[in-house]
Amino acid sequence: MSQKPIIYKSWRELPLMTASMGDTTVNKTGSWRNVEPHHVEQVAPCSLRCPAGNDVVGFVTLAAAGKLEEAWHLLAETTPFPGTCGRVCPHPCETECNRDHLGGAINIHSVERYIADYFMDKPPEQKPGTFSGKHVAVIGSGPAGLSCAYHLKRFGHAATVFEAHSKAGGMLRVGIPDYRLPPEVLDAEIRRIIDLGVEIITGSRVGKDVSFDQLVHKFDAVFAAVGFTNSRPLGAEGDDGDDVVPGIEVLRKINLGMDDGVGNKPLVVGGGNTAMDVARSLLRKGKDVSVIYRRTRYEMPAIAEEIDELLAEGIEITFLATPVEVLRENGKMTGVKCIRMKLGEPDASGRRRPVPIEGSEYVIEADCVITAIGETTDLEFLPDDIRAKTSWNIPADELGRTAFDKLYAGGDVADGAGTVTAAIGYGRRAAIAIDAAFRGKPVADNAAMSPSLRERTGYAIPFEEINTAYFEDLPRSEPGSLKVSERIKTLDEVHQGFSEADLEKEAKRCFSCGTCPACDNCYIFCPDAAISKVKDDKNKLYLVDIEYCKGCGICAAECPRGCIVMKAVR
């Protein structure tokens, strides 16, 4: 090592006092670093769990900021039915919500409902995509069918929906009672789809009024979303009379304003949503209704809130019993002989199988039986060659693609998921797949997500990544609902929506997991002044100056919502 020569200077050459001539930015302290921060926007668990693919954090935070129209448009990216979903969806988003650990989950469905209701009468203008020349036939105007048609129209394809009933809406129309989903809401949302340019032909049953082959011949693709139409038979002795009726049939009659044709003391068999809906509808018609279910409350497939409300309304559920024989005198039902059950080994669904207890038969008084023990599909409309290759459903992948030429399927007829939101999501994914097929492009892996979330790389922020020091422990708000004594007399909607003040309060509780709202924490706390705010860039809010970042990780630790991750320096 060569020695530097020592330079001697006289006092005249030295400055009067030592003064700094420059700043320390010459010193690149970034070389100390072994980890570095990356601003990464991630997908919140609520958005990830939404079967319809809604950007939940997106619309909730927009609503909190009072930007309702932007929130509406964001929802319109994924669903044509925010008003419906805000009412009837079992909201898995709220189950996953990280806020649940601090004051209770965000009341997401009420926020969605508020946004939809705000624009119900006068929705913001939406334009269909530029017409591609392709035309798709959609069989069934339920949530899956209409969602698919709506998105196809947005993508620029023509869509014609064939509906067997006199009114569009499928299960939304005939399967969900008015007290949960008022017909005006459904009408408004369907009107919006029609206004976009979707053609709906009602009273036209495929397989009868128009043949499936005709559709395949005439259209560029066919999306089958016929849903569950048939009730499973009761399987008890004497279940073939007129006084044993399927639950969905009764619901259809009530929903279309017809006479329900049911006696005064009906017994509803089943523990699913249909059973709850039909029992509560009949109660409102003044019937002395009761429910019987062969397992326990724990195994009931119905939405928990629906069960609670049914019990609150005074309807009795007999658990662990099932009908074995319908008793009649002079052709008129006098009662139902039932047998007690006990729970045995778990079955294919993971629930414990009910086993009859021998000799425990007893009689329940009833003048009619309503079956709601599950629904199944009716695939009679399909030609024999396709019919032969299907089972109870039309097998389809999650994008609705089937093994058959031009045929796509979605909703209950494909997966039997049984919820409106799942059907809406299925319809949208199928529309994306059909669009991709028309344009000869592959479907992206994350096509199921809202377009606003597709560029994000990380997924499902866990609660541990939320820095709770920055959030107040505020309780969840619930909108009002009709009193039990009032609601059992009418078909009026049970639950009310949020008031403006409630909406603001509730939406502002959102952690906004994984979405950076530019809170400046990383900028404020950086000890090295290495994080700067970026202006005029839509995709970037902060810039980390890697030349000076020492990798302390304070920015990641103090990010309230997990938008910064520390990665090892390569």
26 or 348: CB nearest other proteins: 26
Q: How far apart are CA 413 and CA 422, in angstroms?
A: 12
131 or 470: CB nearest other proteins: 470
Those residues with Cβ within 8 angstroms of residue 239's Cβ, 6 or more apart along the chain or in another chain: 233, 326, 369, 371
Q: How far apart are CA 377 and CA 392, in angstroms?
A: 6
Q: How far apart are CA 425 and CA 92, in angstroms?
A: 14
Is residue 362 part of the contact set for other proteins (CB under 8 A)? no
Is residue 569 part of the contact set for other proteins (CB under 8 A)? no
Query: Looking at 45, 51, 53, 58, which residue binds other proteins (CB under 8 A)?
Result: 58
**365, 334 in Cβ contact below 8 A?**
yes
Is residue 10 part of the contact set for other proteins (CB under 8 A)? no
Is residue 439 part of the contact set for other proteins (CB under 8 A)? no
User: Within 13 Å of residue 187, how many CA atoms lie on the same side as its CB?
Assistant: 5
Query: Looking at 168, 333, 541, 565, which residue binds other proteins (CB under 8 A)?
Result: 541
Provide DSSP, 109-175: HHHHHHHHHHTSSSPPP--PPPP-S-EEEEE--SHHHHHHHHHHHHHT-EEEEE-SSSSS-THHHHT
Query: Looking at 6, 8, 9, 22, which residue binds other proteins (CB under 8 A)?
Result: 22
Which residue, among 420, 551, 451, has the nearest Cα to 34 in the 3D structure?
A: 551
Is residue 529 part of the contact set for other proteins (CB under 8 A)? yes
Query: Looking at 67, 101, 165, 353, which residue binds other proteins (CB under 8 A)?
Result: 67
Give the binding range for other proteins (CB under 8 A) out of 62-70, 169-177, 383-391, 393-401. Answer: 62-70
Strand partners, 532: 543
Smallest distance from the beta carbon of 98 to other proteins, in angstroms? 15
459 or 523: CB nearest other proteins: 523
Is residue 70 part of the contact set for other proteins (CB under 8 A)? yes
- The position carrying tokens 């005709």 is 214
Radius of gyration of the chain (CA): 30
Is residue 312 part of the contact set for other proteins (CB under 8 A)? no
**110, 507 in Cβ contact below 8 A?**
no
Is residue 191 part of the contact set for other proteins (CB under 8 A)? no
Is residue 414 part of the contact set for other proteins (CB under 8 A)? no
Query: Looking at 61, 79, 84, 107, which residue binds other proteins (CB under 8 A)?
Result: 61
Is residue 450 part of the contact set for other proteins (CB under 8 A)? no
347 or 455: CB nearest other proteins: 455
Query: Looking at 200, 552, 563, 565, which residue binds other proteins (CB under 8 A)?
Result: 552
**244, 371 in Cβ contact below 8 A?**
yes
419 or 521: CB nearest other proteins: 521
Give the 3-state secondary structure of residue 248: helix
Is residue 23 part of the contact set for other proteins (CB under 8 A)? yes
Is residue 205 part of the contact set for other proteins (CB under 8 A)? no
Q: Quote the tokens at residue 170.
A: 């499928």
- The position carrying tokens 């650990």 is 101
Is residue 519 part of the contact set for other proteins (CB under 8 A)? yes
**561, 511 in Cβ contact below 8 A?**
yes
**309, 286 in Cβ contact below 8 A?**
no
Is residue 469 part of the contact set for other proteins (CB under 8 A)? yes
Smallest distance from the beta carbon of 542 to other proteins, in angstroms? 12
Give the binding range for other proteins (CB under 8 A) out of 61-69, 160-168, 335-343, 375-383. Answer: 61-69
Which segments of 212-290 does DSSP mark as H helices, in order? Answer: 212-218, 247-255, 273-284
Is residue 31 part of the contact set for other proteins (CB under 8 A)? no
Give the 3-state secondary structure of residue 98: helix
Q: How far apart are CA 355 and CA 259, in angstroms?
A: 37
Using CB under 8 A as the binding criterion, the count of chain residues that bind other proteins stands at: 54
Query: Looking at 3, 10, 20, 166, which residue binds other proteins (CB under 8 A)?
Result: 20
Chain positions contacting other proteins, by CB under 8 A = 18-29, 32-33, 58, 61-62, 64-65, 67, 70, 74, 469-470, 508, 512, 517-521, 524-530, 532-533, 541, 545, 547-548, 550-554, 556-558, 560, 566
